[in-house]
Amino acid sequence: MEAVKRRIKMTVAYDGSAYAGWQLQRDVASVQGVLEESLGKLVGAEVRVNGSGRTDRGVHARGQVAHADVTTRMSEKSLLMGLNATLPPDVRVLSLVKARPDFDARRSAHGKEYRYFVWNDRQILPDRRLYAAHVYGDLDLERMREGAKRFVGTHNFASFCANPHRKIGSTVRIVTAVTISKRGKEITFSVKGGGFLYKQVRSMVGFLLRIGAGEDAPEAVTELLDTAQPRTARVPSAPAQGLFLWKVWYRSVTPKEVAHEA
Amino acid sequence: MEAVKRRIKMTVAYDGSAYAGWQLQRDVASVQGVLEESLGKLVGAEVRVNGSGRTDRGVHARGQVAHADVTTRMSEKSLLMGLNATLPPDVRVLSLVKARPDFDARRSAHGKEYRYFVWNDRQILPDRRLYAAHVYGDLDLERMREGAKRFVGTHNFASFCANPHRKIGSTVRIVTAVTISKRGKEITFSVKGGGFLYKQVRSMVGFLLRIGAGEDAPEAVTELLDTAQPRTARVPSAPAQGLFLWKVWYRSVTPKEVAHEA
């Protein structure tokens, strides 16, 4: 069998605790870096792995998506098994399928879901300390939900992102849903939208936590969206370890309807 | 205020990943060791911390219980806050109360619950890898439940513990309940009883997993309990990282009904 050149789509879960973030950087461990190293060894050539977007230092993923072009005799199933056999245990490829040649993990994305976990008790349990933010003190769920629904829609999120004027162009984004649920001591925020600015989700959650603690009113969300000024100390960024890139949506990714789940 | 000598009862949660186990050992990190160091610094004297029992290397706890005698002016609330301010983040004291002088974390215990977590999918998610065992392949829950109920009662657990003839005396123990539940990809085993032999819970779960995979019949539990021979390779010990000491029960521990929850 000849080596076949093709584009692959990978769904990747990772524990971001030990990484400087998704993006390849010199002299530090990155998730993109370990994926490129493992995939490159498997196919015997340098490979570029392109993610749907960056995640920051300490941020996790359950469903990051990336594409890469490979020329190899290996099947998708063999690539999947080979990757998980050589990757460190804090990075797992959950699925690997052949994609259309024009599939682009970033540009083809139709939407994303992030989840943010908060442990709301005096002490955070040791086994949750790397995967949730610790907040002690009463949080009013209904107040936070009142604030959350005000984020839904097409808004200018300049007040809810970092460095909005650096070079990112428009700060207008679509948020389709923000839901908040609680189970035991753990509060889960789910934020869905068409795409997100740098630190947008952590800024939104950071402000909702202020609302939950009574330090700001739910109506202040609308006020800050309307004024659309650069972010101030009034909108803190919730800590990295509570954030998971949960899912990225696409339409018709694969050439066939066959997927090898890992 | 004079320094008051008293016995305290602590409920402790820990992530066992970085420890050689509960018990104090020379030259390695132990949970007992870090607790004795933090408590000793707070009260300005050497303190012995006595747990309800040992946990092995890599085993976790949500509700380990320990007692200690301290002579200090600090209140229970101040001791609790001081401990959590100085302990590493993978060890948390969840409550600290004054106990009766004859309270003994090990000897006064009436029962314990352990929980064991199994991630049953092709890949274990990175954020669960340190807190659950990874099992790939079909597991028949009903078969495992058939096996589990055969453990309940007073039995000789010689076939389900390590080194049964070393010096531990009787291998007869009471198991009051074994339940198995599944949520998503995660299976939770709860094992309750009056007390447990070395590696008893991990041996029980290891054998139930064999039953779930079709490698042994549920009836084999009764057969092994009845023959009560030293453990063989037929009864594997499930890996340490899936096990949590979940709860220890006592009767009338505190002199008053006042508890400072952390």
- Report the percentage of chain A scoring pLDDT > 90: 87
- Give the three-class secondary structure for B163: coil
- In chain A, which residue's Cα lies nearest the Cα of B88? A126
Q: Determine how many CB atoms are found less than 10 A away from the CB of residue B116.
A: 26
Residue B169 contacts A, CB cutoff 8 Å:
no
Return d(Cα A70, Cα B229) in angstroms, integer. Answer: 56
Position B256 pLDDT exceeds 90: no
Of A14, A125, A262, the CB nearest to B13: A125
φ and ψ of B24, to 5 deg: -55, 130
**The tokens of A121 are what?**
């008790």
- Cβ-Cβ contacts under 8 Å, B262 against chain A: 122-123
CATH topology of domain A4-107: Alpha-Beta Plaits (3.30.70)
- Cβ-Cβ contacts under 8 Å, A127 against chain B: 13, 15, 60, 130-131
Residue A81 contacts B, CB cutoff 8 Å:
no
**pLDDT score, position B164:** 56
- Report the percentage of chain B scoring pLDDT > 90: 87
- Label residue A71 by pLDDT band (50, 70, 90): very high
**pLDDT score, position B2:** 80
**pLDDT score, position B165:** 57
Instruction: Tell me which of A19, A64, A123, A134 to substitute to probe the interface with B (most B C-beta atoms closer than 10 Å).
Output: A123
**pLDDT score, position A165:** 57
Residues B89, B17, A238: CA angle, nearest 5 degrees: 40
- Label residue A2 by pLDDT band (50, 70, 90): confident
Q: Are residues A262 and B125, on separate chains, in Cβ contact within 8 Å? A: no
Q: Are residues B13 and A262, on separate chains, in Cβ contact within 8 Å? A: no
* pLDDT, tens digit, 9 for 90 and up, residues B161-210: 997 556 668 999 999 999 999 999 999 999 999 999 999 999 999 999 99
Chain centre to alpha carbon of residue A2:
37
- Give the three-class secondary structure for A149: helix
Return d(Cα A225, Cα B123) in angstroms, integer. Answer: 41
**pLDDT score, position B166:** 61
Return d(Cα A43, Cα A84) in angstroms, integer. Answer: 14
* pLDDT, tens digit, 9 for 90 and up, residues B85-123: 999 999 999 999 999 999 999 999 999 999 999 999 999
**pLDDT score, position B3:** 87
Close Cβ partners of A83 (under 8 Å, ≥ 6 residues apart)? A10, A35, A38, A39, A42, A93, A96
**The tokens of B29 are what?**
């990190």
Give the CA radius of gyration of chain A.
20
Q: Determine how many CB atoms are found less than 10 A away from the CB of residue B108.
A: 20
CA distance to A118, A237, B191, per residue, from A186 (Å): 6, 19, 24
Q: Determine how many CB atoms are found less than 10 A away from the CB of residue B27.
A: 5
Query: Does residue B74 or residue B252 have the better pLDDT?
Result: B74
CA distance to A89, A95, A194, B58, B149, per residue, from B239 (Å): 16, 26, 42, 9, 22
> What H or E segment, with its residue span, contains residue A33?
helix A31-43
- Cβ-Cβ contacts under 8 Å, B94 against chain A: 123
- Label residue A212 by pLDDT band (50, 70, 90): very high
- For CATH 3.30.70.580, list the domain ranges present in chain A: 4-107
Q: Strands A186-193 and A50-51, how do they pair?
A: unpaired
In B17-140, alpha helices (H)? 31-43, 76-86
Residue B188 contacts A, CB cutoff 8 Å:
no
The pTM of this model reads 0.91
**For all residues of chain A together, what is the average pLDDT?**
93
Q: What does the H/E/C string look like for A90-140?
A: CEEEEEEEEECCCCCCCCCCCEEEEEEEEECCCCCCHHHCCCCEECCCCCC
Task: Give the HSE-up count for residue A234: Cα atoms under 13 Å, Cβ half-sphere.
Answer: 14
- In chain A, which residue's Cα lies nearest the Cα of B241? A127
CA distance to A108, B7, B42, B255, per residue, from B97 (Å): 58, 9, 16, 9
Of B91, B127, B261, the CB nearest to A126: B91
* pLDDT, tens digit, 9 for 90 and up, residues B24-39: 998 899 999 999 999 9
> What H or E segment, with its residue span, contains residue A72?
strand A60-72
Chain centre to alpha carbon of residue B250:
15
**pLDDT score, position B260:** 43
Return d(Cα B143, Cα B180) in angstroms, integer. Answer: 11
**pLDDT score, position A63:** 98
**The tokens of B230 are what?**
């030293």
User: Is the Cβ–Cβ distance between A164 and A82 less than 8 Å?
Assistant: no
- In chain A, % helix, strand, coil (3-state, to 5) comes to 25, 30, 45
Reply yes or no on domain A110-245 having CATH 3.40.50.720. no
Position A86 pLDDT exceeds 70: yes
> What H or E segment, with its residue span, contains residue A77?
helix A76-86
Return d(Cα B155, Cα B171) in angstroms, integer. Answer: 8
Beta bridge partners of B44: none
**pLDDT score, position B163:** 78
**pLDDT score, position A3:** 87
Position B252 pLDDT exceeds 90: no
* pLDDT, tens digit, 9 for 90 and up, residues B114-131: 999 999 999 999 999 999
Position B257 pLDDT exceeds 50: no
Return d(Cα A258, Cα B234) in angstroms, integer. Answer: 39
Q: Which of A29, A26, A20 lies closest to A55, judged by CA?
A: A20
Position A155 pLDDT exceeds 80: yes
Mean pLDDT of A233-242: 95
User: Is the Cβ–Cβ distance between A106 and A51 less than 8 Å?
Assistant: yes
Q: Which of A252, A246, A225 lies closest to A11, judged by CA?
A: A246
Q: Strands B60-72 and B4-14, how do they pair?
A: antiparallel
Residue B80 contacts A, CB cutoff 8 Å:
no
Active site residue B56: yes
Return d(Cα B215, Cα B195) in angstroms, integer. Answer: 28
Count, residues in chain A: 262
- For CATH 3.30.70.660, list the domain ranges present in chain A: 110-245
Return d(Cα B2, Cα B72) in angstroms, integer. Answer: 8
* pLDDT, tens digit, 9 for 90 and up, residues A242-254: 999 999 999 865 5
**pLDDT score, position B259:** 43
- In chain A, which residue's Cα lies nearest the Cα of B262? A122
Q: Are residues B94 and A62, on separate chains, in Cβ contact within 8 Å? A: no
Residue A94 contacts B, CB cutoff 8 Å:
yes
Residue B131 contacts A, CB cutoff 8 Å:
yes
**For all residues of chain B together, what is the average pLDDT?**
93
Residue A14 contacts B, CB cutoff 8 Å:
yes
**pLDDT score, position B48:** 98
- In chain B, % helix, strand, coil (3-state, to 5) comes to 25, 30, 45
* pLDDT, tens digit, 9 for 90 and up, residues B229-239: 988 889 999 99
Q: Determine how many CB atoms are found less than 10 A away from the CB of residue B219.
A: 12
- Label residue B10 by pLDDT band (50, 70, 90): very high
Position B262 pLDDT exceeds 80: no
**pLDDT score, position A166:** 61
Return d(Cα A240, Cα A260) in angstroms, integer. Answer: 31
Return d(Cα B90, Cα A130) in angstroms, integer. Answer: 10
Mean pLDDT of A197-207: 97
